[in-house]
Each structure stands twice: as structure tokens, then as C-alpha cells.
A and B are shown apart, each in its own frame.
Chain A
Amino acid sequence: MLDVGPLDAFYGDSHIVQNVSITIGDGEGVAILGRNGVGKSTLFKSIMNGGPRVDGPIRLRGEDITGLPSFARARRGLGFVPEDRRIYPHLTVAENIAMGGHAARADRPPYTLEDIFGFFPLLRDLQTRRGFELSGGQQQLLAIARAIYGRPDCLLLDEPTEGLAPVIVEDLARQINAFRAANGTACLIAEQNVRFARTCTERLYLIDSGVIVFSGTWAEFDAQADLQQRYLAV
């Protein structure tokens, strides 16, 4: 589905992401774990061509998308939720969702608003609210709804649980899983919340200072007790 790298990414002279390779299979859920500042967001932005200078190949469904602008990558099937969510404050919930329709392809029309409210029932009651009136959890839900509206093949979620209360995180995991189970959408999730990441994905990469230091299934991760201590705990 998505084959990234080996990839290097830079901000000016800082070499942030170093020789990183990740792959995501059709419909697969994969987590990228790592502390603050290790380069998770930079990697996501590199996949979307959204800022950093990038060196290295990116293939989506076998097609080389290296060098394509962000909008073209979205239209090829990447649905991106940035860590700061970036809901349009002046637009209503329904209008924000509809913005995601620009990424739909001719051969695959977007979901309907009804479909979206089926996946995320909470949004139905909020549909006429404006972006600036939403809580953090509602914004996150909306950002995900907007990203899936155009029927992406692969969803990229950058720290979706950041700043959310534990009960809301649990809800979010349930809804994401239900959506993916029903639609077979692949998903790459950057996280520091191990519990949430474990609920939503089948395997993971650990990243530290821009380098991948572990890759494997959750069982393999659990077998190496020191990993969490060394690369995640604060």
C-alpha cells in the first residue's frame, strides 16, 4: 500500500529524519511510537510533502509519488490529520467534513455525510456548529472525519490522542477501529500513548532521534521489556 524510504528529511540544515523505511500493507494498522521531538510529525509531513525537504522515494499502491505536491498525494489516496488538527474555525462541522471531498477520485466518490455520521455519531448533533465552537475531542473527531471523507486508502493520524481525556481516547479508538474494520482503510498512527496505539494497530515502529530503533509486532515489542523504558517513558 504505502512504501516509504529509505527517507531523509531536513529542516534547513537539521537532518531530522534519518534513513527511515516503513511499509504499510493493504488495510493494515501501523503505529509510529517515539517521544516528543524525535521526528514523527516531520516524517508524516514528509509523506505528504508538507514542509520539510525530503530525500528518498515514496510509493503509494506501487506508484511513485515522490515529487508530487500535497494536493496530488491527497487525491491519490492519503488522508492526513495533522497533530494540530487545523479545523477551519469559520466553517461548520458539515462544511469542514465536505472540504475533505476535494481529495475524492473520479472513480471513487466521497462518502456521504450520512455515512460519516454513521461512523462518528457524535458529529451528527454538531453538524451546524462552527469549528471554533468545538472541544478538543470534537475537533479531533472532525479532523478524522474530514480526512476519511474522500475515501483514502491510507489514513495518517499524527498524535490523535494528544490533549484528550482518557475516556474520550477510549471512544476514539473504538470508532476508528469500527470504521477501519468496515472499510478496510490502512492506517499509520504516530503516538506516545502506547495503550491507544496498541488498540488501533497490529504492529509498530519505534523511532528515536529520527532513526528507527525497533520494528515488529506488539508481541515482539512486549517481549523486549526495556524498549518502553528506553524510548518512551519520560
Chain B
Amino acid sequence: MLAEFLSPLFNGLFSAMVVFLFATGLTLIFGILRILNFAHGGFFMLGAYLAFTLVRLIGGDMSIASYLLVSIAAGIAVGFCGLVVERLIFRRLQHVDEAYSLIATYALLLISEGAVKAIWGVSFHSATTPSALGSAVVVGDLVMPVFAIFIIALGVLCYAVLEWILQHTAVGKLMKSLASDPWMAGMLGINVPRFYAWIVVIGFFLAGLAGGLLLPNQTLSPNLASVFVVQAFGVLIVGGMGNIRGAFLASILLCVIDSYGSIVFSQVPGIFFYVAMAVMLLARPQGLIAGARL
């Protein structure tokens, strides 16, 4: 009885934090640079594959600590890719029509998929969950996998850290200022291009980190790049176009609604994410948190 009601909530929160972890880097880059990075999923996938290779190299069962370290290493490697991508591509997109951003980042997505195919092949791989996260917590008849609890906690932690940085640190205030008026920031002596480069690196780091963290939950194939992209774009839009808090709330709202919807209408699972998204956009076209960027 309890499980019937709470289990969709738990599953919804789990999907929500998966989507949110995926969407943070995307949201950050969009919030500050106003570039919608279609390649985000490609670099998320690259992070997952890199983490997969590291796990293989280490061998045996992983502790939680090494799982986290592997994910951070994947994040750093993808962050370096971000540095190159910023130099070669994003820097050139600042002063051109948005259509070019779309084409350029889509091309980058194809390149990242091609790179993954070339390095790891097209066959499917899967990583095992660290055994410390492999069990489940049972409350009454509600079964909660520890890995899912762990991801929910990581998602909330990731949100809390980003929110704290944005609201309470000098760097966060600078980020919000640059997001709202980069032109004036330049007039005041702030090296805006270098700041943008850092944001891209951090956004890519978050993509790679998410790839590593969500690896135990995924089947690795070159399709992984597009698994979360549509949901992440939905969260970005419903959240208010580049607002971290909005993205967090939108992830929870859409995924929990979807989770309950899929129980009630089990013939069409997954469709309620989009129904909820459409309703939200009709009700609040400006997004959950409008006006304030980041």
C-alpha cells in the first residue's frame, strides 16, 4: 500500500536527479554564454566511456571512493576537451547568428559520437555497480536500491553546491553579473572571453563527471549521447532557460509527474514528461524561474 504510492515518487526522484546531473553543465553554459550545446550528450557519453575504461584498468570491485575518483578523472579529461572546444569553436560563436551555434554544436555531437565509435567500437558494454552500492534498502514493501539513493543524494548535493556558489560566493556573484550583462562587465575591466572559457571547461567537466557517476546505470553504446538530451532540453526550458534552481525544480516536477503518469497509464510510459512539459510551458511560458539568469 505504502509502496504503491511512494515507489513512483522514489523512482521519479531518481530519474529527476539523473536528468539534473546530466543537465547542470548544459544549463550553466546556456545560462552564461547563451549557447545551446547539442554536443553536451556526446561529451557526457565520452565521460562514461572514459570512466568505463578506467574501471576496467583498475579491475576488480570498486569502492565508492574509487568510483567517485574515476568519475572526477573522467570529468577532468572531458573538461580538457572543453578547453579545446572553446578555443576552436565556442569562441567563434559569440558574435554570430544562433543558427551557427546550432549547426556547430550538432556537428560537434557527430564528431564526439564518431570518436567514441572509433575508440571503443559500436558494440554494447556495461559496467557493474560498485558492490557497496549494489544492495537495496527495504522499508515495508518499498524497495529502494542503494545506487538510486546515492544518485539522489549526489544530485541534491550537486544542486546545493552550485546554488551556494551562485548565491553566496564572490565567484557566483560574478557569474550572475556576467550572465546578466557581459558587455558592462567588459567595460569594467573583466576579461570576459577568459571567463567564458572557464565556464565552458566547467560545463564540460560537469558533463564528464555525470557520465562517470551515471555509468553503473547505463548500457554503453554510441546511442548514449542522445538518451537524456531531450529531457535535459525540456528541463532547461521549463526551468527558465539557463537557471540552475529552475532546472533542479523542473527535473523533479517533470520526472515525478512522469513517474506517476506511467503507473496510471502504463500503456504509454515516458509520455507524461512531455505532457507535463507542454502544460508547464502553456501555464508559464517564461519558465519556472524567469528573469534571473543562473
Q: Judging by beta carbons under 8 Å apart, are A82 and B187 in contact?
A: yes
Q: Give the distance in Å from the alpha carbon of A100 to the alpha carbon of B188 in the complex.
A: 5
CB neighbours (8 Å) of B192 from chain A are 71
Q: Mark B171-186, 1 if CB is under 8 A from A, else 0.
A: 0010011001101111
Is A210 positioned at the interface, with any CB of B under 8 Å from its CB? no
CB proximity to B under 8 Å, residues A59-105: 69-71, 74-75, 80, 82, 86, 88-91, 95, 99-100, 102-104
* B259-294 with Cβ < 8 A to chain A: 292
- B176, B188, B192: most-surrounded residue (chain A CB, <10 A): B188
Output the nearest chain A residue to B184 by Cβ-Cβ distance.
Answer: A86
Q: Does A121 contact B (CB under 8 A)?
A: no
Residues of B within 8 A of A91 (CB): 173, 177
Query: Whole-angstrom distance between the alpha carbons of A90 and B176 in the complex?
Result: 8
User: Assuming A69-B193, A71-B192, A90-B292, is B177 touching A99 (CB within 8 A)?
Assistant: yes
Nearest CB on B from A233, distance (A): 32
Among residues of B, the one whose C-beta sits closest to the C-beta of A99 is: B188
- Cβ A71 vs Cβ B177 within 8 A: no
CB of A45, distance to nearest CB on chain B (Å): 9
A40 within 8 A of B: no
Residues of A contacting B189 in the complex (Cβ-Cβ under 8 angstroms):
71, 74-75, 100, 102-104, 150
The answer to whether the Cβ of B191 comes within 8 Å of any Cβ in the partner chain is yes
B180 to chain A, nearest CB (A): 7
In Å, the complex CA distance between A48 and B189 comes to: 11
Whether, in the assembled complex, B115 has its beta carbon less than 8 Å from a beta carbon of chain A, the answer is no
Q: A69-B193, A90-B176, A95-B173 are in contact. Are A50 and B183 (CB under 8 A)?
A: yes
Known: A69-B193, A71-B192. A50 touches B177 (CB 8 A): no
Complex Cα gap A48–B183 (Å): 11
For the complex, give the distance between the alpha carbons of A166 and B135 in Å: 74
Count contacts between A and B, CB distance < 8 Å: 59
Instruction: List residues of chain B with CB within 8 A of the CB of A70.
Output: 183, 186-187
**Is A146 located at the chain interface by the 8 A CB criterion?**
yes
CA of A74 to CA of B189, assembled, Å: 5
Interface residues on B, range: 10 to 19
B190 at the interface (CB under 8 A from A): yes
In angstroms, Cα B189 to Cα A150, docked, is 9
**Docked pose: A50 CA to B181 CA in angstroms:** 13
Assembled-state Cα–Cα distance A102/B182 (Å): 14
Cα(A50)–Cα(B185), bound, Å = 11
Contact B186 A69 (CB under 8 A): yes
Chain A residue with the shortest CB-CB distance to B189: A103
Report the minimum CB–CB distance from A124 to chain B (whole Å).
21
A-chain residues with CB within 8 Å of residue B181 when the two chains form the complex: 86, 88
Q: Nearest CB to that of A87 among chain B residues?
A: B184
Residues of the A chain whose Cβ atoms lie less than 8 Å from the Cβ of B183: 50-51, 70, 86
Within 8 A of B (CB), among A37-68: 48, 50-51
The answer to whether B193 touches A103, judged by C-beta atoms less than 8 angstroms apart, is no
Chain B 165-214 interface residues, beta-carbon cutoff 8 Å to A: 173, 176-177, 180-181, 183-193
A100 to B185, CA, bound (A): 9
The CA-CA distance from A158 to B193 in the complex, in Å, is: 25
Contacts of A88 in B (CB 8 A): 177, 180-181, 184
- By beta carbon, the residue of chain B nearest A149 is B188
Question: Can you list 9 A-B pairs with a CB-CB distance of less than 8 A?
Answer: A71-B185, A75-B189, A88-B177, A90-B177, A90-B292, A95-B173, A99-B188, A104-B189, A146-B188
Q: Which 4 A-B pairs have the closest CB atoms?
A: A103-B189, A74-B189, A102-B189, A70-B186
Given contacts A74-B187, A90-B180, A100-B189, 13 further A-B contacts (CB under 8 A): A48-B187, A69-B186, A74-B186, A75-B189, A80-B187, A82-B187, A86-B184, A90-B177, A90-B292, A95-B173, A102-B188, A103-B188, A104-B189
